[in-house]
Chain A
Amino acid sequence: MHPTDFTLSGALAALNEGAISAEELTRANVAAVEALNPKLNAFITTTSEQALDAARASDARRKRGEAGPLEGIPLAIKDLFCTEGVRTTAASKILGNFIPPYESTVTAQLKRDGAVFLGKANLDEFAMGSSNLTSAYGGVLNPWQRKNDPSARLVPGGSSGGSAAAVAARMALGATGTDTGGSIRQPAAFCGITGIKPTYGRCSRFGIVAFASSLDQAGPFARTVEDCAILLRSMAGHDPKDSTSAAQPVPDFAAACGRSVKGLRIGVPREYRLDGMPAEIEKLWRQGLDWLRDAGAEIVDISLPHTKYALPTYYIVAPAEASSNLARYDGVRFGLRVVEKDSDLRDLYERTRAEGFGAEVRRRIMIGTYVLSAGYYDAYYLKAQKIRALIARDFDEAWQKVDAIVTPATPSAAFAEGENTDDPVKMYLNDVFTVTANLAGLPGLALPTGLDHQGLPLGLQVVGRAFDEETVFAVGAALERAADFKAVPAMRAGA
């Protein structure tokens, strides 16, 4: 077996038995990155030398009997997590030269547990997008290809498109992502891998470049449900540096993957059955519910009546928070500065921000500034916060009747570059199934369970109660066992 084909748990076992060293494993992944990245553009920055040094240090720790829970595991880190001494761009020109003097809490915990970082993964600029095409460093190519049109350049989804493509193409065993409206789950579905957005507050946001602070949440990508569970345990936990990180114990998520779903009540929200939904998505969904029924779960029809208002609500709340968070990029303390000979301070701000931000980021800052401006705050922002409360209440009522909710992850398989770009709203509809979990703060996991007629992966989503990722993992693992998804992308290491 090629070392890049290891699952994360399989690699940990091989490392423990001495069948492979961390250096050998990292070397194989570094080679995969070097071979595939020129085509896929999954990484903005690669840190191969540091990775090999870290792998050797990991082997030494293991020899001393000091192996951590992720000892020697090579990962891709979304370039939204600040990494001390390693350039962090948020895929924006405005942070093109930014070298953080500190480490994000999530990446610090992964390092503490022995992980090795291969580099910084590409994303949509400031995590704003569903295609990875808003990156100032170029789009990412999805490693999967259409059967009857292999030359079509498919997007990996977004915003965490580089992370998902890297894991799917066997460049890394796992990756970090962030999810504000679907930015882990949609790319996971498009790339045929697994990803979870945990409960809001499960992971610290300290050191993650902020997009929309009340929605942003970090989470892992991997090729199995169990591997995501292993990664999440290292990433999660209370952090005094983030007052919204929850003071909740972190359970052994991997153990929950083995739990039976017998007797669990699985909700099927009728509002997620969209007009014009492709028959293959409908079929995938029904198949998933049949598998869970066969495993002893009870399928229950439920209603989440405010679902159709979730996306427009999100497109008030998220831009409003983004316009506030991105005010810090002013050309004074860090990042790009653009001045003309006669610029005053205001002109410096305006030129720096107009040149430093891409079109989608500028658009969202404008929307956010408008909905927060005097005279419109109540009509837009306050109204959206109230509807957000109604969306959260819909879920609270559903949890009286069910233990988890299963839906499609996305309304389609991966689309090609150039599709969905004529109208911003059309692109926003990609997050129709995922955005409700962000608004309500709930955990959501996406995993591949089938292929479409073009041979592209399609995924289901499992949503659970706040801080009940364990049930989400149990249901996800049951679907994974039943689906037995073995398809692999055309472009991958060792192929």
Chain B
Amino acid sequence: MSLDTATVRRVAALARLRLEEQDVARVQGELNGILGWIEQLQAVNTDGVEPMAGGTPGGVAAMPMRDDVVTDGGKAEAVLANAPDREGEYFGVPKVVE
């Protein structure tokens, strides 16, 4: 599968990455190079194979459960300490609703 320029623009928009017009062709070439290399996976027979989700040896069943309780909180100042823009106890952003 080879990406056309419209798909490259659509993926950049989905990823919220501004893509300048003059960079589209270069990015398209790089992505198609990688995707072309990945294409070899289609040759592997995976009939009846359960997909491996997560990295835990033994699978998700081997992971511990914890009690469903609040364990943290009440740290508004720490949470806001790195905010690029804040208004009181809120993060500041450009106006969203007119």
Contacts and interface: CB of A to CB of B under 8 A. Distances in A.
Note whether A and B form a binding pair: yes
A250 to B, nearest CB: 15
A315 B40 CA distance: 12
Query: Taking each of B1, B17, B33, B55, which has the highest tally of chain A beta carbons within 10 Å of its own beta carbon?
Result: B55
B61 interface: no
B30 A353 contact: no
Nearest to B49: A386
A166 B56 CA distance: 31
Contacts of B66: 240, 243
Contacts of A73: none
A334 B46 CA distance: 42
Given A244-B63, A344-B94, A366 B27 contact: yes
B53 interface: yes
Interface in A306-337: 306, 309, 312-313, 315-316, 323, 327, 330-337
A312 B49 CA distance: 18
Contact of B33 (A199, A344, A386, A423): A423
Contact of A367 (B31, B56, B62): B31
A330 B31 CA distance: 23
B88 interface: no
A243 B54 CA distance: 11
B44 A367 contact: no
B50 interface: yes
Contacts of A99: 81-82
A5 interface: no
Given A312-B41, A335-B84, A366 B58 contact: no
Interface in B33-48: 33-35, 37-38, 40-42, 44, 46
A349 interface: yes
Given A367-B34, A369-B15, A383-B41, A333 B82 contact: yes
A295 to B, nearest CB: 28
B70 interface: no
Interface string B1-33: 101000110011011111100000001001101
Contact of B30 (A214, A333, A424, A442): A424
A98 interface: yes
Contacts of B55: 200-201, 213-215, 217, 244, 438, 441
Contacts of B62: 246
B16 A385 contact: no
Interface residues of A, number: 77
Contacts of B37: 312, 315, 425
Q: For the side of the interface on B, what is the size category?
A: 35 or more
A246 B50 contact: no
A385 B33 contact: no
B92 to A, nearest CB: 9
A379 B79 CA distance: 39
Contacts of B51: 382, 385-386, 388-389
B16 A346 contact: yes
A384 B57 contact: no
Given A354-B18, A382-B51, A424 B34 contact: yes
B74 interface: no
A473 interface: no
Contacts of B94: 339, 343-345, 348
A312 B85 CA distance: 41
| A339, A351, A357, A387 — most chain B CB neighbours (10 Å) | A387
A335 B83 CA distance: 7
A344 B17 CA distance: 14
B40 A337 contact: no
Contacts of A339: 94
Interface string A214-229: 1101000000000000
B11 A330 contact: no
A351 B20 CA distance: 11
Contacts of A97: 82
A365 interface: yes
Contacts of B50: 386, 389
A456 to B, nearest CB: 28
B17 A370 contact: no
A56 interface: no
B31 to A, nearest CB: 6
A283 B96 CA distance: 64
User: Which one of B57, B71, B93 has the greatest number of beta carbons of chain A within 10 Å?
Assistant: B57
Interface in A420-453: 423-425, 438, 440-442
Contacts of B64: 238, 243, 246-247
A309 B64 CA distance: 31
Interface of A: 97-99, 101-102, 199-201, 213-215, 217, 238, 240, 243-244, 246-247, 306, 309, 312-313, 315-316, 323, 327, 330-337, 339, 343-351, 353-354, 357, 362-363, 365-367, 369-370, 373, 376, 379-380, 382-390, 392, 423-425, 438, 440-442, 466-467
Given A344-B94, A369-B14, 11 more contacts: A201-B57, A217-B55, A332-B93, A335-B82, A339-B94, A365-B17, A366-B15, A385-B53, A386-B46, A441-B57, A466-B58
